[in-house]
Structures are given as structure tokens and as C-alpha cells.
Structure 1
Amino acid sequence: METREFGRRKAVTALAATSLTLALGAGLGAGTSYAGAPSDAASDGVTAAAKPKFQMPFKCNTHWRIDTWQHSPAVDIVVKGNTGSSGKAVYPGYKGKVAKTFWDRGAGNVIIISHGSGWYTAYYHLKDRHDRYVQKGDRVKATTKIGRVGATGSNSGDWAHLHYEQRYKANGIPGQGDRRTVHFNGKKYTGNGNTWKDVVSKNC
């Protein structure tokens, strides 16, 4: 029964990623949808060596599933086995400063964090308003709780998960067009339609 339910959710999420073209205003770029991600070749234009040493945005030694669906280099993350994701704590995975917080009709509750040297991370569909945990300008550590996994926004497919992005832009807050290949603990997670069923967070 759990497998059938996940299959239904997968179909809904894939449909949202490939068929819907919602205007994700509020800084994401009007007319942009998940399917509008740059190619992986473009993503690798900025080398991984230049990146901060990002860890998973979750508690140390917890187990997660990562899916790229059709919006690589962005990823969607759920608890391993796809059960009990809603309400799980979300962390930055690297020190930084809250650059922007907002509500978007497609992405729901969103937080964007600056990690210095042009690198940012973005967190979509968070369960609660940002001001319950952090506000713009707050400095955070890798283990600072910034929110909880949720299903806010019309692009969530009513499926609790964290849509996560790593972005790079030399000047100004980057948008969806500035997404780069996601790395956790030095490992790359990229390519449309890929799944990693058991990724252990090393955000210790």
C-alpha cells in the first residue's frame, strides 16, 4: 500500500515538474517552473571545489531519500522510505546569513540563505512561516533550525518534502536560473530522473 501511494505521489510530483508553468514570483522569476532548471553542463560551470562544504540540511546520522525528478540540478528530499517526512527539522547544512524569506504560491514558504563568496541555498515548501524560526539578516550555523519539512504551495503536490537548491551568483541574490549541481559531503547528486534511496546526513 505504501509503494502504491508513493507511486501516486511520484506521478503528481512529476506532472507538476513537467506540465505546470506557474509564475513563482517573489524573487524566483516570473514564468519559471521547476522544469526550467539549467542543464547539468551549465551547473558544472562553477567547480565543486569552489563551493562551501555543504552537508545535508538535516540532523546528523538521519537517513533520507533524494530525487531529482525532472528538475535537476534541484532535488527533492524525503525521509528514507517516504514515511514521516512532514514536520522534520530543516537546517542550513553550512553556516551563513538569511538573505530572503517569503511566501510564493507555487513554492510555499521559502527561505534563501547566503553562505558567502556568491553561494546560496534555497528551501521550498516549508511547513511554517519563516519568522517562527529565523528572519532576514539572522546568522545561522550548520545546525541552526530554520524550519520544518512541509507541503506548502501549489507545486508541492500536497506531498511533504523539501525542495532544495544550491545557487551561485557573484553579485546579488540569485534566482532559479543560477542553480548549480547539488553536493552533500563532497558527493554530487544530479541528472534528471535519478534517485538515491539511503543518504545519511553528515551534518554533525
Structure 2
Amino acid sequence: MNRFSALACTTVAAAALLVLGEGVAAAAPAFQMPFPCGQVWSGQTRTNHSPANAVDFNRTNDDGDPVVAALGGRVTRSESEGAASYGNWVEIDHGSGWRSRYAHLSVRRVSVGATVSQGQLIGDVGNTGESSGPHLHFEELLNGVPQRIVFNGSQILYWGTRGYTSQNKCGGVNPYSPEEVCGSGFTRIDSAALGSQGTTYLLYNSGTGANCVATIKVVSIGTPSPVSAFLEVQGSTRTTDSGSFSYYAGPVKKSAANQCVKWGGSVGSSAYTSPFEHCG
């Protein structure tokens, strides 16, 4: 698949009704783009695509970018086909015969049977399966038949390339949780709000005795801005992850079984530093 640059967002004509079979019409549900709010992606449709009604999304340096649920529902497929077909892919059932598919992911972050909400992180953009470059292959299906895609009540462009801006869960919703940042085995044991800018979290892995700190922002989602996270085990030096990040700072991990820790972080000018605590 050839890369194509993001274009300016363009509103297309409303097409909330999709024609099915012998002239029967069904209302499309309220799908949004499968990316966090405000992100601009270039979407390409083409007649030789399989299926033709699917869309491929690209933007600059998109490998590993978050993919979120276009609509809430239940995960019915979370598959790895290796170097074949969709590679890593996820399917979500939205009810009334409607499903959505997300293909060529580098990482699948949901399992079959999980209930997901609109805007929830379900995977990362990748280059798996029969793909020649990082991108997201996306489909909307009704009763197993791929339909022309509708976002925010408007049908996308067929056939060609156009830029689109996501309106998925706008209003400070970060697709990442501290558990996803710190990884398997970590559970949150403390947190501190950073005003209205975000939250810094302390997590612990009882299996390894490690602590982890992650700071999740709720402002400027998807846009780099100052964020930090730090962790200090009593008697040791402090480790800090600080920079201009789009979603979070961290993970900062240290072995701390039966040792006191000082932890915290910042988003913009709002910061928190704990005392030495959680010593058990």
C-alpha cells in the first residue's frame, strides 16, 4: 500500500442510510473515526481494494499510533494471522447486525468477549499481514456485508483520498489507561489529580515487587505537550521520564518490594510529589 499525505479535513454529504440488497435500507449507527479526538488522518478508498468498501488510513509516522473503537460493543474477534491477510485484527459487534473491523495492527489490546466503549483503546497501528507499510484497514459491516463507511453521520469519499478529522470521544478522553502504560501484572494502588490537566498513578506488581508510575493527561490529547512521571525508591536515586508527549509520561519502573517510595508527576504547570510511602 502506498503512503499518502494527510489532507485538510473536508465534510462530505450526509449519508446515514445505507442501501442493502434489494433496495432495503437500514440506519447506520453513530460510528466515529477509529482514532482519538482531533487527529487528522488521510483515508483512501479504491475499487481494487478488498473489500472495495473498506478504507485505509495513514498519517506521518503512524506506526504504533493508538486505534480506538469506532462505536461501543462486544469484541467478537481478536486474531493473529501472522504474515497472511489481516495480520493482527479485531472485530467488534455493535448490535442489530453491525460490526466493525480493524486490521494490520501491531498490537491487539482487547480479547474476545470484552465489552468496549466508543473511543476505548483496542490496538495500535501496524504493518502485519499482507501489508506493505504501516496503516489501518477499517471496515463497517452489516450482517457480514461490508458497507460504505459513515463517520459522524456522513459517508466518506468513494473513490479517492481525503483528509478527515476524528470527532471520537472529544472532551479530554485519553485512550490509554495506567495499566496499559505499565503493562501486564501491574495494578494501581494510588493516584493524584493534577488539577484539570491529568492524573499521575502509582502501580504495583505483586509478582515482581516492582512499582510503576504513569502520568495520563486529559488536555491536548494527541498533541505533544509537557508531561512527566518520576519514581524514587528510598535510598536510591530518582528516575524521571519528562518531555513533550501526546498522551502520557512513563512508565517509570523500579523494584521496590518492602521499600518506601516517593512518586509523582506533572502535566503543564500542575505537579504532584508524594512523601515516602507505601513501604509494605
Q: How does 1:118-157 map to 2 (within 5 A)?
A: 118-128=97-107, 130=108, 133-154=109-130, 156-157=131-132
Q: 1:74 aligns with which of 54, 75, 78?
A: 54
Structure 2 match to 1:9: 2
1:116 aligns with 2:82: no
Contact 1:181/1:190 (<8 A) preserved: no
Which one-letter code corresponds to 1:160 in the other structure? P
Q: How does 1:53-72 map to 2 (within 5 A)?
A: 53-69=30-46, 70-71=48-49, 72=52
1:181 aligns with 2:148: yes
Q: What secondary structure, in the 3-state scheme, does the structure 2 residue paired with 1:164 have?
A: strand
1:191 aligns with 2:151: no
Tell me how far 1:113 sits from its aligned partner: 0.4
Q: Distance in 1 between the 2:2 and 2:27 partners? A: 36
Contact 1:73/1:190 (<8 A) preserved: no
1:44 aligns with 2:19: yes
Which one-letter code corresponds to 1:61 in the other structure? G
Q: What secondary structure, in the 3-state scheme, does the structure 1 residue paired with 2:2 have?
A: helix
Tell me how far 1:191 sits from its aligned partner: 2.6
Contact 1:44/1:181 (<8 A) preserved: no
Tell me how far 1:162 sits from its aligned partner: 0.3
Q: What secondary structure, in the 3-state scheme, does the structure 1 residue paired with 2:121 have?
A: coil
Between Structure 1 and Structure 2, the one with more helix by share is 1
1:200 aligns with 2:165: yes
Contact 2:70/2:100 (<8 A) preserved: no
Q: Distance in 2 between the 1:199 and 1:191 partners? A: 13
Which one-letter code corresponds to 1:91 in the other structure? V
Q: Distance in 2 between the 1:9 and 1:92 partners? A: 25
Structure 1 match to 2:202: none
1:67-89 Cα deviation digits (max 9, x unpaired): 0133231000012xxx1111110
Structure 1 match to 2:134: 160
Q: Distance in 2 between the 1:10 and 1:58 partners? A: 18
In the alignment, structure 1 segments of 5+ residues that lack a partner are 1-7, 12-42
State how many pairs are aligned: 148
* Higher mean C-alpha displacement, 115-124 vs 66-75: 66-75
Contact 2:90/2:102 (<8 A) preserved: yes
Contact 2:76/2:91 (<8 A) preserved: yes
Q: What secondary structure, in the 3-state scheme, does the structure 2 residue paired with 1:123 have?
A: strand
Structure 1 match to 2:241: none
Dislocated runs of 4+, deviation >6 Å: none
Tell me how far 1:179 sits from its aligned partner: 0.3
Q: Distance in 2 between the 1:44 and 1:114 partners? A: 20
Cα RMSD (Å): 1.9
Contact 2:32/2:166 (<8 A) preserved: yes
Tell me how far 1:44 sits from its aligned partner: 2.7
Tell me how far 1:112 sits from its aligned partner: 0.5
Q: What secondary structure, in the 3-state scheme, does the structure 1 residue paired with 2:33 have?
A: coil
Q: Which has the higher contact order (CA 8 A, sep 6+)?
A: 1
TM-score (norm 1): 0.68
Q: Distance in 2 between the 1:88 and 1:10 partners? A: 15
Larger Rg: 2
Tell me how far 1:164 sits from its aligned partner: 0.3
